[in-house]
């Protein structure tokens, strides 16, 4: 059995897509979700799916050694960042090198880095009159949004798009691809 732990800060629609994808899988399991926001919508979504969530305050995420111990206690094999909006500190990266991935709602390296998350990205893409946007799934390393790219998929940006309408198209793309990319990577672990 391989155990996935998801980190999330927001609504949790990607976490839900991943949990549902593995619901009938006997060899891969979503063990729990860790958050940095007690009010994040992901708590409610996971409650209705029977997946435990654990919230840790900022100081714990910053020090990160307690998070590593927690992950080891949960027998974590793979970490998935699904809308997790805080920096991953070095102790976690070192303990799980090559076993932490993130999804980013743009075609990296465009629209990545500090301050580029969620609607800020879609606003910037529309302001720049891009005709294409998309999603990037990448490994986490010490530089924000710069880890090795694993998968990208693109979609159109329409002339009358708002940040909300573009976000909806991007979310659909994420839900379609993210769970199977995770499955392929977990299946490839030793
Ligand atoms: C997703 O679109 C994800 O790509 C983005 O946050 C959203 C979370 O949605 N992540 C980032 O912007 C990371 N820089 P969700 O909570 O409904 O899964």
* Pocket lining: 82 vs ligand 1, CB cutoff 6 Å: yes
Q: How much distance in Å is there from the Cα of 162 to the middle of ligand 1?
A: 17
- The atom number, within ligand 1, closest to the CA of 167 reads 2
Q: Which residues pair with 8 in a beta bridge?
A: 35
For the chain, which residues score pLDDT lower than 50?
none
Contact status, residue 54 vs residue 70, Cβ threshold 8 Å: yes
Indicate which residue's Cα is closest to atom 17 of ligand 1.
13
Whole-Å CA distances, 48 to 20, 150, 162:
12, 31, 31
- The atom number, within ligand 1, closest to the CA of 170 reads 2
Indicate which residue's Cα is closest to atom 10 of ligand 1.
83
Q: How far apart are CA 45 and CA 130, in angstroms?
A: 33
Per-residue confidence (pLDDT) for residue 190, from 0 to 100: 84
- Classify each residue of 45-59 as buried b or exposed e, where b means 16 or more C-beta atoms within 10 Å of its C-beta: bbeeeebebeebeee
Per-residue confidence (pLDDT) for residue 148, from 0 to 100: 97
* Pocket lining: 108 vs ligand 1, CB cutoff 6 Å: no
- The atom number, within ligand 1, closest to the CA of 14 reads 18
Q: What is the pTM of this model?
A: 0.97
Write out the CATH class of domain 2-118+136-153+174-187. alpha beta
* Pocket lining: 37 vs ligand 1, CB cutoff 6 Å: no
Q: Active-site residues: which are they?
A: 104
Q: Which two tokens stand for residue 136?
A: 């990037």
Per-residue confidence (pLDDT) for residue 143, from 0 to 100: 87
Task: Determine the 3-state secondary structure of 69 from DSSP.
Answer: helix
């Amino acid at each position: 059995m391989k155990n996935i732990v998801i980190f999330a800060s927001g609504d949790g629609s990607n976490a839900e897509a991943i949990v549902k994808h593995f619901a009938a899988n006997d060899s891969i399991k979503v063990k729990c979700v860790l958050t940095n926001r007690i009010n994040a919508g992901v708590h409610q979504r996971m409650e209705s799916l029977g997946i435990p969530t654990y919230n840790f305050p900022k100081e714990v995420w910053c020090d990160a050694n307690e998070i590593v111990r927690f992950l080891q206690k949960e027998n974590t094999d793979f970490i998935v960042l699904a809308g997790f909006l805080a920096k991953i500190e070095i102790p976690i990266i070192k303990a799980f090198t090559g076993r932490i991935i993130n999804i980013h709602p743009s075609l990296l390296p465009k629209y990545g880095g500090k301050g580029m998350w969620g609607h800020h990205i879609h606003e910037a893409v529309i302001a720049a009159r891009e005709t294409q946007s998309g999603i990037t799934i990448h490994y986490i390393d010490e530089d924000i949004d710069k880890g090795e790219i694993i998968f990208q998929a693109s979609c159109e940006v329409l002339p009358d798009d708002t940040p909300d309408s573009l976000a909806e198209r991007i979310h659909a793309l994420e839900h379609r691809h993210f769970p199977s990319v995770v499955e392929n990577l977990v299946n490839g672990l030793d």
